[in-house]
């Protein structure tokens, strides 16, 4: 784990049990740690499905007791996992305030809070609180190596994409307001009876989602909608272009050479290069 | 066929008829085998259309007898094809358990099973069973050369795309649960009356399908929906970027030349080049 | 025009008027021919709008006579244009059977046919026949230079895209049939009451159009729909990847050098090349 | 600002206050100008939200007076900003008729016009007029640096994309008319009761928006719809391909180096390279 750089197992041979547990929980290179990963994945998966099924009234009525027990079992298991993680980790503070540390905590507190609060009162708050357990799904992210590469590519394009999305929202505001005038003010179409609603419709349209709960009914409204659709069709390409160009650049980087110069040690040479581009030594 | 590497027609000149049939059925380089391919494609196409039309009640009532006869004709034809394939193939086991071998079997068994079972009972099971014949459409894949290239590109991106889809589903779970709180718990919107339903809605929205059977009705619900749509708009680009980068890399690989100049050692020459483009030495 | 290679104006100085008209109509390099292009574009645009407006019952009731006269004016104009084109063109047969020759003919015949047929009978056929005039919009394609580049890019990717679309349709057939079993046969959902309808729904879903006129209502149906949506989300990238890779290759070609070798005359050198890649001469 | 090339602060040291204000308003390199930018962004954001909320009848009824006062405060602030901009700018005419100059004016005039006109009359015109204030959102564009890069990429692809969109509209006209014949004329489907409506449907479909307010009901109509959807699926890739190829070319250009090796003449070195990668000569 990247937030655990100070933990060097070589230096702590004495604390053998703690070290072995650390290796099982935080690494995934031994059979034991792989088994732990798989069991944890299943526990997370089943526990998230329980959260989802509990919200279905008919299922909750029939299996309320079963869900309650299973949920407590998982909560206790995740509590043990959380406690052990804190115990074996050296930089405890770093772990507790790391992304995964917070997720691990959020995974267990809702059940304890529901036990503390009087069940008869605050029913709504309790229901919402217990839904927080859905965030357990993020515990899975720890075990998916490829996800990081994708998230990096997305993160490095995110600045450009968010500027782009801001521009789209700005365009949508103006087009939505025009639509409000044409459909809402003049034609009294209930779906466009205020500006925020019309902007909502414009975003649903320009992103090609197109629910159809609000649709233009007049001829000028339909013409304006056609214009918005065609604009959306023309610009939907932009985020794709940004991410693709980004990924292409990354692929090109990966394809770059792994040879290091014997003289100056520089890496990252062009695959076709014969001489080091930094010091001129033959590769 | 790739799963037939051991069958070398040169070594079996004696078994001439078997060899000629093998060539007609499994290859597509002679006029005979091309004709066989075309006839088989038509047979598959018509037989799949029959399966589809049979499910239309009005057509089934009017032409039940006709469909029944045509279906048996195709079943017998495909049975003969299957038997002959097994006969002429040398590695029989490899063929039978290959993808196409299983498809060839699935194409014929439903009709025999319907004949075996008493028609009066298990009507529902019979109807479903006979629909298995729709898998015949996959028999066509054998004859579409380009399909393999596409499937390869898709397969090599599939790991990345499935990780990406998993991430989208995880995000969708959290956003869907938030929507359930905002619309279902607080506003009592019937469409969001449990978490799985809300997640279904979030997937329909984030993928820009947007049926509109479930839509938010409250102002906070619409604001959250807008956020989900904009997230979907921003990340729909990612699978495209992955596949495009993959296809670009494949294209670039095809265009590359492995010759190096003897004088300056430059690689990456045009495949048609005769002289080094950098120093003019003959390649 | 590419289908007019044999017409060399230099050789026919005698037939001066015909040549001048040919230049105005078929070329667009003189002020006269540019004016002709613009006037023709406007005539096409207005005439297509007339076709569209005529189909609106309320407008047709109010302005039937006006539409009738305007339509005849355009028909006569286009007839004169067609006659003049045939007159000035040397390879008359090539023009008449060319794509644009046929479009020019289709643009005028419907009105003459409606005049010939007794208006009281065959009303439906007449209405449909007159709608053929909408094909006039294709006359515009002659004047849009860039359109050809795009169509070329699309055409060269079309083989791959159509194989891809065939695969999508095949997948859709199987998924649609599964949906028919889950929703139509078991849950008696009217929208999935036969296989072709279910396949129609699957295509609407996988392409992210998502009308919402047919939607799953059962839990297993919604789960299957989610799978179809996620498959669609994963593979929508493929045609984009194909076209992008194709366009990238074309762009790369355009960026290639315009220098020709003084010795062997070869063009298409790498922009960075110093020596001709074919004969080794310095560029 | 690019439309302010003649304003050289070095030459006007005497007019110190004017120059300092110019720097604060038009530049963003000093703490003062950065603070001004942030304050202006907030003012724009809040004022645009006020415009939107005013259109919601229930909110307008409750907070009419509050909105009225806040709106006048912003109008006066933006008027002062506009006046100061004109005062400090040297090329006043260039600023007034520039894109942002016009937006700055549109941001303030509606309120003055509503004060001038008798409130009792022309209520509709007044409401529409005041909605013009939504264009204030464009004032933000001045402060988003990245937006320009994106708009440049979009602008350079716009010619190709608009030709493409024109082609799509032309195809849509023909397919929409066919749909009008199949669904409107023959099956009397209300949604397809004239050609413009059918074309609107075809555009909604081909762009994958798919509202579902108009849907085919007959079997041939659904078959034609499937064809239109598959065409849309095949060509939605084209604008993406265009923008991506454009962005790729831009990325490649940025990464390129113009130095040539003195020994072998090779170009295209890495910008950080010190020695020729082909022959090892110092660059």
Q: Where are the domains of chain B?
A: 9-139, 147-256
Enumerate the residues of chain B whose CB falls inside 8 A of the CB of residue A162. Answer: 234
Q: Is C55 on the interface with A (CB under 8 A)?
A: no
| Tens-place pLDDT, residues D146-185 | 666 667 767 777 777 888 888 888 889 999 999 999 998 8
First to last CA, chain D: 38
Residue A275 pairs in a beta bridge with: A282
What's the gap between Cα C194 and its chain centre?
33
Nearest CA in chain A to C219: A56
Match 């307008």 to its residue by tokens. D60
Q: What is the pLDDT of residue B149?
A: 67
- Give the Cα separation of C19 and C32 in Å (integer): 13
Q: What is the pLDDT of residue B118?
A: 62
% of chain B surpassing 90 pLDDT:
28
- Averaged over C163-172, what is the pLDDT? 87
Least Cα distance to C39 among C110, C129, C140, C190 occurs for C140
Nearest CA in chain B to A209: B208
> In Å, how far is C169's CA from the nearest CA of chain B?
10
> In Å, how far is D207's CA from the nearest CA of chain A?
6
- From A244-248, B266-270, D65-69, the region with the lowest mean pLDDT: B266-270
Burial A154-181 (b: 16+ CB within 10 A, else e): beebbebbebbbbbbbbbbbbbbbbbbb
> In Å, how far is A110's CA from the nearest CA of chain C?
28
Q: Which chains touch A (3 or more CB pairs under 8 A)?
A: B, C, D
Q: Retrieve residue C147's tokens.
A: 């359109």
Which of 239-268 (B) contact A at CB < 8 A? 240-242, 244-245, 248-249, 264-268
Residue B282 pairs in a beta bridge with: B275
Residue D9 confidence (pLDDT) above 60: no
Which member of C235, C249, C276 has the closest CB to residue B275?
C276
Q: What is the pLDDT of residue C181?
A: 92
C144 conformational bin, left if phi > 0, alpha if psi -120 to 50, beta if neither: beta
Nearest CA in chain C to D165: C147
Residue B7 confidence (pLDDT) above 60: no
- From B95-104, C179-188, D263-272, the region with the lowest mean pLDDT: D263-272
Q: What is the pLDDT of residue B129?
A: 81
Give the CATH H-level superfamily of domain A9-139. Voltage-gated potassium channels. Chain C (1.20.120.350)
pTM for this entry:
0.84
Nearest CA in chain C to B248: C245
Number of CB pairs, chain A paired with chain C, less than 8 A apart: 8
Enumerate the residues of chain A whose CB falls inside 8 A of the CB of residue D163. Answer: none
Confidence of residue D259 (pLDDT cuts 50, 70, 90): low
Please state, rounded to an integer, the average pLDDT across all residues of chain B. Answer: 81
> In Å, how far is B156's CA from the nearest CA of chain A?
14
> In Å, how far is D275's CA from the nearest CA of chain A?
4
| Tens-place pLDDT, residues D198-255 | 999 999 999 989 998 899 999 999 999 999 999 888 777 777 777 777 777 666 655 5
- From A82-86, B196-200, B262-266, C215-219, the region with the lowest mean pLDDT: B262-266
Q: What is the pLDDT of residue A250?
A: 66
Residue D263 confidence (pLDDT) above 70: no
- Give the Cα separation of C129 and C123 in Å (integer): 10
Q: Do A234 and D273 touch (CB under 8 A)?
A: no
Which member of C166, C180, C278 has the closest CB to residue B275?
C278
| Tens-place pLDDT, residues C37-73 | 889 989 999 999 999 998 888 898 999 899 989 999 9
Q: Is A162 on the interface with D (CB under 8 A)?
A: no
Enumerate the residues of chain D whose CB falls inside 8 A of the CB of residue C276. Answer: none
Residue A9 confidence (pLDDT) above 60: no
Residue A282 pairs in a beta bridge with: A275
Angle between helices C237-255 and C219-235 (to 10 degrees): 10
Residue B252 confidence (pLDDT) above 70: no
Q: What is the pLDDT of residue A84?
A: 92
Which member of A124, A137, A158 has the closest CB to residue B185?
A124
Confidence of residue B245 (pLDDT cuts 50, 70, 90): confident
Which member of D124, D146, D243 has the closest CB to residue A185?
D124
Q: Which range among A55-69, B26-40, B224-238 has the greatest average pLDDT?
A: A55-69
Please state, rounded to an integer, the average pLDDT across all residues of chain D. Answer: 81
Run of H or E including C247: helix C237-255
Q: What phi and psi, each to the nearest 5 degrees, are found at residue A137?
A: -60, -30
| Tens-place pLDDT, residues B175-199 | 999 999 999 888 888 889 889 999 9
Angle at D63 between CA D57 and CA D69, to 5 degrees: 120
Q: Is C162 on the interface with A (CB under 8 A)?
A: no
| CATH number of the domain located at residue range(s) D147-256 in this protein | 1.10.287.70
Enumerate the residues of chain C whose CB falls inside 8 A of the CB of residue A240. Answer: 240
Evaluate whether ipTM surpasses 0.90.
no
- Averaged over B55-60, what is the pLDDT? 88
Q: Which chains touch C (3 or more CB pairs under 8 A)?
A: A, B, D
Confidence of residue A63 (pLDDT cuts 50, 70, 90): very high
Q: What is the pLDDT of residue D276?
A: 67
Residue B6 confidence (pLDDT) above 60: no
């Amino acid at each position: 784990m990247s937030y655990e750089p100070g933990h060097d197992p070589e230096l702590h041979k004495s604390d053998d049990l703690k070290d072995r547990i650390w290796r099982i929980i935080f690494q995934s290179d031994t059979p034991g740690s792989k088994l732990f990963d798989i069991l944890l994945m299943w526990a997370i998966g089943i526990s998230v499905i329980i959260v989802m099924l509990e919200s279905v009234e008919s299922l909750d009525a029939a299996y309320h007791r079963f869900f309650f027990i299973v949920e407590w079992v998982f909560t206790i298991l995740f509590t043990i996992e959380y406690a052990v993680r804190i115990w074996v980790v050296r930089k405890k503070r770093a772990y507790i305030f790391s992304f995964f540390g917070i997720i691990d905590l959020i995974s267990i507190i809702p059940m304890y809070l529901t036990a503390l609060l009087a069940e008869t009162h605050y029913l709504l708050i309790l229901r919402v609180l217990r839904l927080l357990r859905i965030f357990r799904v993020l515990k899975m992210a720890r075990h998916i190596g490829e996800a990081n590469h994708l998230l990096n590519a997305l993160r490095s394009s995110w600045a450009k994409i968010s500027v782009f999305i801001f521009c789209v929202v700005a365009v949508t505001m103006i087009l939505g307001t025009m639509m409000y005038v044409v459909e809402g003010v003049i034609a009294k179409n209930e779906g466009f009876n205020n500006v925020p609603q019309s902007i909502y419709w414009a975003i649903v349209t320009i992103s090609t989602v197109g629910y159809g709960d609000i649709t233009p009914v007049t001829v000028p409204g339909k013409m304006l909608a056609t214009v918005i659709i065609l604009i959306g069709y023309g610009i939907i390409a932009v985020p794709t272009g940004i991410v693709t160009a980004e990924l292409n650049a990354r692929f090109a980087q990966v394809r770059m050479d792994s040879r290091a110069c014997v003289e100056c040690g520089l890496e990252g040479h062009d695959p076709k290069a014969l001489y080091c581009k930094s010091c001129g030594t033959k590769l």
